[in-house]
Structure 1
Amino acid sequence: MNFKLSTLLATSLLTCASGVTLASESSVTLSGSAALTSDYRFRGITQNQNDAALQAGFNFAHTSGLYAGVWGSNVNFGTADPHLELDPYLGYSTELSSFASKPVLDVGVSYYNYPSASDLNWAEFYAKLTFGSLITADDSLLTSINYANDYLGDLAKGDQWYFNATYSIPFGAGFGGVAGLGYTTTSDYDFDGKGSDDYLDWKVGVNYAIPMFDGLTAELAAVGTDIDTDDMSDVAKRGVDAGAVFTLTKSF
């Protein structure tokens, strides 16, 4: 089933409008973030020709576990359009208290929306499990499964599965580390120009919570993929090869 952008946006707006009313009763919380990154990498692949990106988002969360929000970034696919990505989402999160480890289950749907190139729009369902304090206090392991039946819209029009595991650990004194591994497989999309319909992506980085600015975090990470870059142009190679990405994020 394909989700229409207008339906999803309308639902998000209604949810958020209800949240404003309920916020006075302390049942809804609003959170958000703004970030400046040296390269917007989505599952290891640059979304803006390895240039910097400005990103922001907000989220309304209800005490029931329901949440809705939107996230956006500038993009550049090397064509005239699009220049903006705006992704509304809806979901539900709950702690599985019957398990000893008390993992958090998070399920929902995101809509990857490009206002000036709607033929690229596509919806994706996701299910995530987050486990805490596995090795040390305050560490976490996020595992996720994502599925889309209209991957990349009219560009691919195929099924896509994405599997990911990301581990985060605090080092102390505001420092932390992160390592992630993802796998993408599609029914009909060629990632390297040689017929490959799957690839691995990875990330290894360190971050630092800047103490003089509440909610401000700096991260330096190496990000890349195993996509075969033989016969690719230099620009295309840089978009999938390993590269350093620096990001400043302010959460509120």
Structure 2
Amino acid sequence: MKTAMIRTAAAGTLAAMSLASMNTALAQDPWAFSANIGAVSNYIWRGVTQTGDQAAIQGGLDVAHESGFYAGTWASNIDWDEGSSEAVTLTPVLDDGGQVVVDPVTGAQTFTAETVGADPDSPNYELDLYAGYGFAVNDDLSFDLSTIYYAYPDGRDVDFWEIGASGTYKWFTAGLAYTAWGEADDDAAFSEGDLYYYGSIDVGLPYDFGLSLFGGYYDFDTEDGGVDYGHGGVSISKEAGDFGTFSFNYDQVGRETYDDDPKFWVGWVKEF
């Protein structure tokens, strides 16, 4: 899933770049190790912001074997409260007799204000662990089987685990991800049984530019209505050698239940 920093820009474009660099290393050694670091002006995952439309710093480690096996880990800051206003708790100030202190001038009761977060259980960062196996049938056709665990160590009851499969023919990729387990309540999204369908068209352009057109649909296994949604977008990337890869991206959710405003964001990723 995160092989090639899929979340920092359009999936297919940067994935192809990362796999190409791994293949170069594998030509010399059966194992290839790589690291990446990136920054985005908005962390968008499957059409939905994970940082309240704010920036994120991201990075990961990957290992791949010439057999097609790969594994890695990836992390990013997140903000599911979406920068929501903080709650303020007022506590009355009591005198030695247990009575509320009254201002002698205004006659108003005296309180102390304590600011608390909107949701103390909302996580501040994401840590993903993933593994998979990719193989090519020929120069035009390849497949990938993967599993990924989405962990939110400082959150509560929000971790979940997916298994997935995808196929790529020339410039077209289609795939499916299934939520095999989750900490959420049985009838909630991201608990078990959710299906995510996705596809992308990824083409190379002159002068080391890349173009990706992508879309997906989330079918949640929940009794709550109004949570399934589709999304789509476009990404243009530019490989800049030692300076990494830059991208300009557009994402759009197609359901008013979510924030369906168009999202424009920029990203940068550097692999080592």
Residue 205 of structure 1: aligned partner: 235
Alpha-carbon shift at residue 183 of structure 1 (Å): 0.7
- Superposition deviation, residue 26 in structure 1: 2.1
Q: Does 1:131 align with 2:134?
A: no
Which residue number in structure 2 is paired with residue 59 of structure 1? Answer: 62
The Cα of 1:217 is off from its aligned counterpart by: 1.0
Q: 1:174 aligns with which of 208, 222, 229?
A: 208
Corresponding residue SS for 1:220:
strand
Partner of 2:127: 86
**2:178 paired with 1:147:** yes
Q: Distance in 2 between matches of 1:111 and 1:181?
A: 22
> Cα distance, 1:178 vs. partner?
1.1
Q: Which residue of 2 aligns with 1:232?
A: none
Structure 1 segments (4+ residues) deviating >6 Å: none
What RMSD in Å do the two structures reach over aligned CA positions?
A: 2.0
Superposition TM-score, scaled by structure 1 size: 0.75
Consecutive unaligned residues in structure 1, runs of 5 or more: 1-22, 133-139, 230-235
Local SS of the residue matching 2:193? strand
Give the match's secondary structure for 1:170. Answer: strand
Contact kept, 8 Å, 2:163 with 2:180, in 1: the verdict is no
Q: Does 1:33 align with 2:36?
A: yes
Output the CA distance in 2 between the equivalents of 1:106 and 1:120.
26
Question: Aligned AA for 2:228?
Answer: D
Question: What SS does the corresponding residue of 1:124 show, helix, strand or coil?
Answer: strand
Identity of counterpart residues, as a percentage? Answer: 27
Counterpart in the other structure of 1:249: 269
Would you tell me which structure has more helix in proportion to its own residues? 1
Contact 1:151 1:160 in 2 (8 A): no
Change (3 A) 1:129 1:55: same
Residue matched to 1:43: 46
Partners of 2:154 and 2:67 in 1: CA distance? 35
Residue by residue over 1:50-108, the C-alpha shift from the partner in whole angstroms, topping out at 9 and shown as x without a partner, is: 100111111111111111111111011113330110000111111123xxx64111102
Q: 1:171–1:74: structure 2 CA closer, same or farther, 3 Å change rule?
A: same
In the alignment, the residues of structure 1 paired with residue 35 and residue 173 of structure 2 have an alpha-carbon distance, to the nearest angstrom, of 20
Larger Rg: 2
Which whole-Å CA distance do the structure 2 matches of 1:52 and 1:40 have between them? 7
Separation in structure 1 between the aligned mates of residue 80 and residue 53 of structure 2, nearest angstrom: 10
CA distances 1:183-203 after superposition (whole Å, capped 9, x unpaired)? 11011165xxxx223111111
Instruction: Give ranges in structure 2 of 5+ residues lacking alignment.
Output: 1-25, 82-118
Q: TM-score, normalised by structure 2?
A: 0.70
- Verify the 8 A CA contact 1:151 1:159 in the aligned structure 2: no
**What is the total number of aligned residue pairs between the two structures?**
205
